[in-house]
Amino acid sequence: MVWGRVDITSLWALRCQGCLALAMPGKEWCRRCFEHLPVNHSACPRCAHPLPATSSSCGGCMKQPLPMDHVFSPFLYDEDIAWLIVRFKHHADFRAGHNLFRLLEGHLYKVSDADSPALLPVPSHVSRCRERGFDPVWWLAQRVARRLAWPLLEAHKRRATPRQQQLTRAGRVKNQRQVFEVPDMTGKTVWLFDDVMTTGTTLGSLAQACRARGACRVNALTLARTPASHESASMAASPRRTP
Ligand SMILES: [Zn+2]
Ligand SMILES: [Zn+2]
């Protein structure tokens, strides 16, 4: 964005988003903070759960696979990533949103798909969007779809549901049952999109709705993944840094 002779975006980049030290040229981070971001280096290809080394499916997927064929989450829901997500979603901090997209953008080359897929963001109920003043997942998904040159599809949430973070795993499943209305997807490959995947209940419910409407392959892309052992921390929505 250019204002007069000054590129405003370059002004944002002067200070590191993490520690306020000088950022690397053209980046939102200093080298130290960037190298300490919680990257999900090796993960289960079915559910993106972090694993010690990239291998076949994790134990959880061996026992009870999720309805998605493949999930890719480049970051873990921890430290600066969790802090940025909370800033963006709950405080409408669009600098944090811009930064999250820039981080995700750096990993989108790993999401190539020869099947001409479409991107389907997890919808929020209109009451939740009004409460926040915007839809953070849709905001990010628009930029991801543009960057990948994929069509963006729209689903609807039939009813408002309690926040997933406040529920047990069984409660999450009940909460999301038949809650999504999706367009016809006959023969399509679709990538679902969300900011964070915790148990995968929401994405699983949307994946089932897509399959019921004819999708032949359903993958998912999320910015961050909450490791299973961190689920209770995520439910309290309390990253270690205080926003
Ligand atoms: Zn820094
Ligand atoms: Zn898995």
Enter the tokens of residue 141: 């998904």
The mean pLDDT value of the chain amounts to 85
Distance CA 242, CA 183 (A): 39
Cα(63) to ligand 2 centroid in Å equals: 9
The pTM (predicted TM-score) of the whole model is: 0.83
Burial letters for 109-118: b for 16+ Cβ neighbours within 10 Å, e otherwise? eebeeeeebb
pLDDT per residue as tens digits for the range 162-186 = 665 665 666 666 566 678 999 999 9
The answer to whether 115 touches 238, Cβ cutoff 8 Å, is no
Give residues whose Cβ lies within 5 Å of ion ligand 1: 16, 18-19, 21, 30, 33
pLDDT reported for residue 28: 87
If one compares 32 and 164, the residue with the highest pLDDT of the two is 32
Q: How far is the CA of 225 from the centre of ligand 2 (A)?
A: 11
Say which CATH number the domain at 115 has: 3.40.50
Q: Which residue has the higher pLDDT, 158 or 184?
A: 184
Task: Specify whether the CB–CB gap between 195 and 223 falls below 8 A.
Answer: yes
Q: Which ligand is nearest to the CA of 16?
A: 1
**List of residues 6+ apart from 168 with CB closer than 8 A:** none
Domain identity same for 111 and 226 = yes
Decide if 242 is inside a domain.
no
| 17 C-alpha to ligand 1 centroid (Å) | 6
Whole domain around residue 31: which residue ranges? 1-36
Q: Is 21 helix (H, G, I), strand (E, B) or coil?
A: coil
How much is the pLDDT for 161?
A: 73
Query: Do 231 and 126 lie in a common domain?
Result: yes
**Cα 134 to the chain's mean position, in Å?**
16
